[in-house]
Amino acid sequence: MPSWVTSARPETLEDVALLSGAALASLHLVVARADVPHAMLRDRLSLTASEACMRLLGRPERAWDIRDAVHLLRPGDQPGPAGVIYLQWLRAAARPISVGALQRALPSATAEQIATWLDTGRGGPVTRAATVL
């Protein structure tokens, strides 16, 4: 990620849009490469999201605890709360984006709003994200 994207402090909505677009553009360049192990990237992002959820819940589990809670399970064992959240993130990351899936994740948004967000704009992900913003 270019340092000017992560070092700037967004002051206005336009700043946020520009920095978000720059971050998406950088991410798109990396993820679009065929040599990137997409399954590993999804797993890592799911683990990071699980750790963030644990922090929001005030729980002490960190990434290594969460990973071990799932990957060291014996047959028939149940994961703890952190493991359950990690498994949910793994399942969510494995599915393609759809209106129904996003509506379950964002209950305050209507199906029409989500469909508009997904269908907004033409072109690559950066152009579409900028149009939504």
User: Which has more confidence, 107 or 6?
Assistant: 107
pLDDT (average), residues 30-34: 87
pLDDT at 97: 76
pLDDT tens profile 117-132: 777 666 766 666 666 6
End-to-end CA distance of the chain: 21
Tell me the H-state helices in the chain: 3-7, 13-31, 38-56, 63-71, 81-94, 99-105, 111-119, 125-132
Asked if the model's pLDDT at residue 1 lies above 60, the reply is: no
pLDDT tens profile 81-117: 899 899 888 888 887 778 887 787 777 888 888 888 7
State the pTM of this model. 0.62
User: Which has more confidence, 34 or 109?
Assistant: 34
